[in-house]
């Protein structure tokens, strides 16, 4: 009922706009317009709302043009659809409103780096293979099946026949070849050049016939299929010209969406319709999408997706709590759940508690041995001596009251974390690793073993008499992390360590940890990644850019780092799970024992949906509405 009304109302609004907007274009009418459009509460207010909306539209000028959707051409269904078995096969639904906490920057996969752009690209693009995030298995995408050669290096993909782009152009192997030409072209440096390469040799892609392609890797490389998920197929018939001219970076930009949306053809479940910077993105259903439910109903069910853009997560959570969006961002922060939950009955939504997230929050010490441009060491030598001492790192790990932090800062809605592979990933998590529960006495013992002495003045000194004091930095926008820091400061004060807290903005934090290295210790997080531990290659390997404590080493600086390098390489050389699991277990054991990175906690994963939405599936990682194409509203 409600969404119907909103749709009608929007149509009406755009009619009014058309009537009054001949004279002049003023770009920002719809800020006020939209608030009015989506914030009505009861029917008694509707007429007033209509009146105000009309006035606003009339007074401020023009809104977005209604999009001409002629470029979406419905073609016959593919004879080889991907059929999903759904718990609730459904029917068509009108509209789904979601929110993101920041604007997008591009729609071009070759350019995209930020989360929110990737999220929108996900909605209209597809690759050869896809990931079912509830099982985290690789499943067929545009390729209906594949075979692996005996030497485990060649993957032969059989493409789905009779799949069309949203503009009616047929999809075939040429699009696949073209896409990888784009990704591997030296003129266009992009992430896939790193992901889809082994020992700096990019995958070899060959066309066998119109519906068969082969992907060959230089050596056996276990995450091959996983990396191909990132290889969204690009349309040769649209982008070939830009590619040849060297303009690929400029194509499929935000202005393409504003001025020539017909160029943004889709293979994914949705087609982009319109975009208002800083306000919203709308997408409509792609009738040519290759998926169907078990009853033969083509997916997706939802006709139109509206993505509203908010400044921050709290604003998005507040809007959800007022019943105005169908889902609450990517997740609700644990500390926000108690108040969002209060409105659950009033606005008929449900909050799902999906257990500890795969998001990692951790602390590490700067162990960099290098010197800066002036020849001064990044870390003062006496501090470096502490930071490179395993016992010191373990002592600090024991000294941090993780349980206490969880109780106070996130209302007990989380779990302490000790491993890079969180317990959420039951397949890969190694429960045997060393754990560091809060134990100040053990901590003091370790420090004494390492030669530290606690003086009568309650100040800890190292064997050379230096007072133990260092700084800890984190990004100031993240309330959970800053509060965590104040607790850690108190915890360490009990040991006689003076911790100096530095709250800085995120970009400075990134520069300091990845470039200038002028810091002692830092707290940061890593987002949701695929459970397969090879996705952490960049963290584990000593030459990696994300080898937080001492990145991009020429040769491993310690024996255990050398061992982890070896294991990480080994991990990629095997395809069978058992062998890989044994290797990954050993990596986790070493990391937990050496504590180069002190894992802190993983907050619970809370997702919020209007109760009417069916087929919601808990993902191992990523967005709660990752299977948007399967959702439908039971109204």
Neighbours of 191 (CB within 10 A): 14
Cβ closest to another protein, residue 338 vs residue 370: 338
Strands 291-293 and 82-84: parallel
DSSP 386-405: HHT-HHHHHHHHHHS-HHHH
487, containing H or E segment: helix 479-493
Cβ closest to another protein, residue 314 vs residue 582: 314
Footprint of another protein (CB under 8 A): 314, 317-318, 321, 335-339, 341-342, 401, 404-405, 407-409, 411-413, 476, 479, 482-483, 485-487, 489-490, 500-503
Q: Is the dihedral of CA 415, 417, 421, 427 positive or negative?
A: negative
Strands 270-276 and 212-216: unpaired
Task: Please report how the helices 173-184 and 236-245 are oriented relative to each other, as an axis angle in degrees rounded to 10.
Answer: 30
Cβ closest to another protein, residue 485 vs residue 631: 485
CB of 318 to another protein, least distance (A): 6
CB of 512 to another protein, least distance (A): 12
Q: Do 304 and 272 touch, CB atoms closer than 8 A?
A: no
Strands 469-475 and 498-504: parallel
* Alpha helix ranges (H) inside 322-389: 337-341, 381-387
Cβ closest to another protein, residue 311 vs residue 545: 311
CB of 603 to another protein, least distance (A): 12
Cβ closest to another protein, residue 388 vs residue 413: 413
CB of 411 to another protein, least distance (A): 5
CB of 416 to another protein, least distance (A): 13
CB of 339 to another protein, least distance (A): 3
Establish how many alpha carbons lie within 13 A of residue 61's alpha carbon, considering only the half-sphere containing its beta carbon.
8
Query: Can you tell me whether residue 182 is helix, strand or coil?
Result: helix
**Distance of alpha carbon 316 from alpha carbon 99, whole angstroms:** 6
CB of 490 to another protein, least distance (A): 5
Residue appearing with tokens 């807290």: 501
**Distance of alpha carbon 520 from alpha carbon 532, whole angstroms:** 31
CB of 54 to another protein, least distance (A): 33
Cβ closest to another protein, residue 251 vs residue 397: 397
**Distance of alpha carbon 507 from alpha carbon 509, whole angstroms:** 5
CB of 408 to another protein, least distance (A): 4
Strands 137-140 and 201-202: unpaired
Extract the runs of DSSP E, i.e. beta strands, from 455-497.
460-461, 469-475
CB of 500 to another protein, least distance (A): 6
CB of 334 to another protein, least distance (A): 9
Cβ closest to another protein, residue 287 vs residue 355: 355
**Distance of alpha carbon 285 from alpha carbon 268, whole angstroms:** 9
Neighbours of 435 (CB within 10 A): 15
Q: Edge to edge, what strands does the sheet with 212-216 contain?
A: 143-148, 154-159, 212-216, 204-209
Cβ closest to another protein, residue 90 vs residue 603: 603
The one-character DSSP state at 423 is T
CA 633 and chain centroid, separation:
26
Strands 414-416 and 632-633: unpaired
Cβ closest to another protein, residue 220 vs residue 318: 318
493, containing H or E segment: helix 479-493
CB of 336 to another protein, least distance (A): 6
Q: Do 390 and 594 touch, CB atoms closer than 8 A?
A: yes
The one-character DSSP state at 248 is G
How far from 151 is each of 82, 147, 278, 575, 580, CA to CA, in Å?
A: 29, 12, 50, 11, 17
Cβ closest to another protein, residue 397 vs residue 615: 397
Cβ closest to another protein, residue 341 vs residue 566: 341
CB of 232 to another protein, least distance (A): 36
Cβ closest to another protein, residue 7 vs residue 502: 502
Cβ closest to another protein, residue 166 vs residue 474: 474
Q: Do 413 and 602 touch, CB atoms closer than 8 A?
A: no
Cβ closest to another protein, residue 352 vs residue 560: 352
CB of 601 to another protein, least distance (A): 13
Q: Is the dihedral of CA 67, 68, 71, 76 positive or negative?
A: positive
């Amino acid at each position: 009922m409600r969404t119907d009304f909103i749709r009608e109302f929007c149509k009406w609004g755009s009619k009014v706009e058309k009537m009054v907007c001949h004279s002049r274009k003023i770009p920002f009418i719809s800020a006020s317009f939209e608030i009015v459009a989506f914030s009505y509460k009861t029917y008694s207010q509707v007429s007033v709302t209509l009146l105000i909306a009309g006035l606003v539209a009339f007074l401020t000028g023009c809104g977005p043009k209604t999009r001409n959707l002629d470029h979406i051409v419905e073609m016959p269904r593919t004879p080889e659809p991907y059929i999903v078995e759904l718990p609730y096969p459904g029917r068509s639904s009108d509209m789904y409103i979601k929110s993101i906490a920041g604007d997008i920057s591009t729609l071009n996969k070759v350019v995209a780096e930020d989360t929110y752009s990737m999220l929108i690209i996900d909605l209209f693009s597809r690759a050869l293979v896809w990931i079912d995030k509830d099982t985290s298995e690789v499943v067929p995408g545009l390729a209906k099946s594949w075979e692996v050669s005996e030497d485990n290096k060649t993957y032969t993909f059989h493409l789905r026949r009779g799949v069309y782009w949203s503009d009616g152009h047929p999809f075939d192997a040429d699009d696949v070849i073209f896409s990888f030409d784009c990704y591997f072209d030296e003129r266009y440096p992009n992430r896939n050049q790193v992901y889809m390469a082994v020992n700096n040799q990019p995958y070899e892609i060959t066309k066998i016939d119109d519906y068969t392609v082969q992907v060959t890797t230089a050596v056996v490389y276990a995450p091959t299929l996983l990396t191909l998920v990132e290889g969204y197929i690009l349309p040769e018939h649209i982008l070939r010209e830009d590619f040849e001219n060297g303009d690929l970076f400029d194509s499929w930009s935000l202005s393409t969406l504003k001025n020539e949306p017909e160029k943004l053809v889709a293979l994914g479940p949705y087609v982009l319709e319109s975009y208002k910077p800083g306000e919203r993105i709308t997408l409509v259903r792609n009738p040519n999408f290759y998926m169907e439910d078990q009853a033969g109903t083509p997916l997706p069910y939802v006709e139109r997706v509206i993505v509203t853009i908010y400044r921050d997560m709290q604003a998005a959570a507040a809007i959800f709590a007022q019943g105005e969006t169908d889902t609450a961002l990517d997740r609700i922060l644990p500390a926000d759940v108690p108040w969002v939950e209060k409105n659950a009955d009033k606005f008929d939504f449900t909050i799902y508690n999906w257990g500890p997230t795969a998001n990692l929050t951790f602390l590490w010490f700067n162990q960099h041995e290098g010197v800066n441009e002036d020849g001064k060491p990044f870390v003062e030598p006496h501090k470096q001596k502490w930071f490179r001492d395993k016992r010191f790192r373990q002592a600090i790990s024991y000294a941090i009251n993780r349980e206490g932090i969880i109780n106070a800062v996130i209302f007990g809605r989380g779990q302490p974390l000790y491993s890079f592979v969180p317990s959420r990933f039951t397949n890969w998590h190694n429960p045997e690793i060393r754990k560091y529960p809060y134990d100040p006495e053990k901590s003091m013992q370790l420090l004494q073993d390492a030669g530290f002495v606690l003086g009568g003045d309650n100040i800890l000194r190292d064997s050379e008499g230096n007072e133990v004091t260092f700084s800890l930095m984190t990004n100031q926008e993240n309330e959970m992390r800053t509060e965590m820091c104040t607790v850690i400061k108190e915890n360490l004060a009990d040991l006689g360590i003076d911790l100096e807290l530095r709250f800085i903005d995120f970009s400075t934090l990134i520069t300091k940890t990845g470039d200038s290295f002028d810091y002692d210790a830092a707290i940061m997080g890593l987002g949701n990644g695929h459970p397969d531990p090879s996705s952490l290659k960049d963290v584990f390997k000593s030459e990696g850019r994300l080898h937080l404590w001492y990145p991009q080493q020429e040769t491993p600086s310690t024996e255990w780092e050398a061992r982890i390098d070896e294991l990480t390489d080994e991990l990629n050389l095997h395809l069978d799970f058992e062998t890989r699991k044994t290797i990954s277990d050993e990596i986790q054991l070493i990391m937990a024992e050496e504590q180069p990175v002190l894992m802190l906690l993983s907050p619970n994963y809370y997702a919020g949906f209007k109760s009417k939405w069916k087929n919601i599936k808990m993902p191992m990682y990523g967005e709660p509405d990752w299977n948007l194409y399967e959702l439908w509203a039971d109204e």
